[in-house]
Amino acid sequence: MLEIPILKSSMTKILKVLLCVGLSSLLPVQTVQAQAIIPAPPQLAASSYLLIDVDTGKVLVERNSDEQVPPASLTKMMTSYIVSAEINSGSVSYDDQADISVKAWRMGGSKMFVREGTKVPVEDLLRGVIIQSGNDASVALAEHVAGSEEAFVDMMNQQAALLGMDATQFQNATGWPAEDHYTTARDLSLLARALIIDYPKHYALYSEKYFSYGAPGEKVIKQENRNKLLFRDKTVDGIKTGHTDEAGYCLVASAKKKGMRLVTVVMGTRSEAARAAESQKLLAYGFRFFQTHKLYSADQVLSEARVWGGQNEQVRLTLADDLVLTIPRGAGDALKVEMHVNNEIKAPFAKGAELGDLVVSLNGEQLADVPLVAADSVEEAGFFARLIDIITLFILGLFR
């Protein structure tokens, strides 16, 4: 009997494909047995509060976190965020000399003690806002960046919308009591996370404990940071305090320990000591019972999949970004990972094309569902190779 080598090799290839496809459907599943035990979170003497993992945005503890409240000087977090953005874009420089207006000079409350008619470097004013919570410095920066505080407030509200702070509205750059000037603990956590992630160089200013300034010809005044946690806990490196009669004593704090960064938002406590103590309770709880767990790195090859009609028969599967999860401490081995790959992956496609998804769960709770993407581009194969794959797919269809 006459054999046709091309057909024989093609049938062999088809049989191999059928076997490989059957085996490739058995994708790895990582399972575990142990279950972490976590106690109930602490109950704080505060009107609202929230605890998040900065790397993942995961909320670990919350109470009344969507209640609209006056932010007091926590408003200055947005003021400094916008100034940082302007510096980062090159529109403003640390060395810019900002004119001090009568309005800025006359501001009451906490002050950096700038003097009307002088010029002050933006860097000094930024420290005056962050470390001394200076209302005068906040107005001076607003006027320097936007021309007026009113125009700057418009920038603040636009930026709040971009950050997803949907329950926030600003009326000034300082947090001075005003009608319709409000935010929530959740929105402040979004702002805190943005400060840390978007402008890490500028965020470092929040950890400075002291700042000294004196207007030309006047005595230099040294003031300490109002965030008392900076002096008590070496893991704490920010962020901002606030206080008015209506808002009570408030604190947004951040700390980093063993690779995990947490942010707490505590609103409406009765004293400076209370806002620090209540914030410490949340930080202690978060660090004790949770961890930030990096499961996979971006571009780490997780599996391979069959490609139909392509110049390559296999494509490597990976993730576009690092997969980082917040999990109970010690529960990393208990994660269940499932990869679902598209049944028929046909060429051509580009690197980064979504070809399936990866689902991570813990004790029945889904923690993540992210796309599996192609690690490489695959071009379309020639006519004969595509024909063989069409026949193979047809046979597979019959088996299904």
Determine the pLDDT at residue 13: 55
Q: Is the pLDDT of residue 121 over 90?
A: yes
How does pLDDT run across 311-354, given as a tens digit for each residue? 999 999 999 999 999 999 999 999 999 999 998 999 999 999 99
Residue 117 has a pLDDT of 96
> Would you give the DSSP letter of residue 40?
P
110 labelled catalytic: no
- Quick: pLDDT tens for 213-264: 998 888 999 999 999 999 999 999 999 999 999 999 999 999 999 999 999 9
How high is the pLDDT of residue 4? 39
| pLDDT band per the 50, 70, 90 thresholds, residue 382 | confident
Q: Is 133 one of the annotated active-site residues of the chain?
A: yes
pLDDT of res. 96: 98
Average pLDDT over residues 289-306: 96
Q: Which CATH superfamily is domain 48-293 in?
A: DD-peptidase/beta-lactamase superfamily (3.40.710.10)
Q: What average pLDDT does the structure give for the chain?
A: 91
**Alpha-carbon distances of 292 from 6, 66, 197, 199, 204, rounded to whole Å:** 55, 25, 16, 21, 22
pLDDT at position 140 is 98
Spot the catalytic one: 48, 65, 101, 133: 133
Structure tokens at 95: 């060395």
| Mean pLDDT for the stretch of residues 60-71 | 98
Hey, how many other C-beta atoms are within 10 angstroms of the C-beta on 167? Answer: 17
As a whole number, mean pLDDT of residues 146-165 equals: 98
Provide the pLDDT confidence category of residue 50 given band limits of 50, 70 and 90: very high
Residue 381 confidence (pLDDT): 87
Q: Is 361 a catalytic residue?
A: no
pLDDT above 70: residue 9: no
Q: Residue 20: pLDDT above 70?
A: no
Separation of alpha carbons 130 and 181, rounded Å: 20
pLDDT at 384 over 60: yes
Catalytic residue among 48, 76, 189, 228: 76
- Indicate the pTM of the whole model: 0.88
| Backbone torsion region of residue 328, taken as left when φ is above 0, otherwise alpha when ψ lies between -120 and 50, otherwise beta | beta
8 A C-beta contact, residue 265 and residue 62: no
**CATH number assigned to the domain covering 5-30+297-399:** 2.60.410.10
Query: Among the listed ranges 9-13, 22-26, 340-344, which one has the minimum average pLDDT value?
Result: 22-26
From 65, 73, 84, 189, active-site residue: 73
pLDDT of residue 29: 45
Confidence of residue 400 (pLDDT cuts 50, 70, 90): low
Residues of the chain with CATH 3.40.710.10: 48-293
Higher pLDDT, 399 or 307: 307
> What pLDDT, in 10s, does the model give residues 85-111?
999 999 999 999 999 999 999 999 999
Q: Which residue, 195, 92, 200, 194, is CA-closest to 141?
A: 92
Phi, psi for 319 (deg, rounded to 5): -115, 150
Q: How far from 312 is each of 97, 188, 386, CA to CA, in Å?
A: 61, 49, 11
Q: Give the model's pLDDT for residue 258.
A: 93
Question: How far, in Å, CA of 90 to CA of 368, rounded?
Answer: 37
CA gap 256, 264 in Å, rounded: 12
CATH 2.60.410.10 residue spans of the chain: 5-30+297-399
Percent of the chain whose pLDDT exceeds 70: 90
305 pLDDT above the threshold of 80? yes
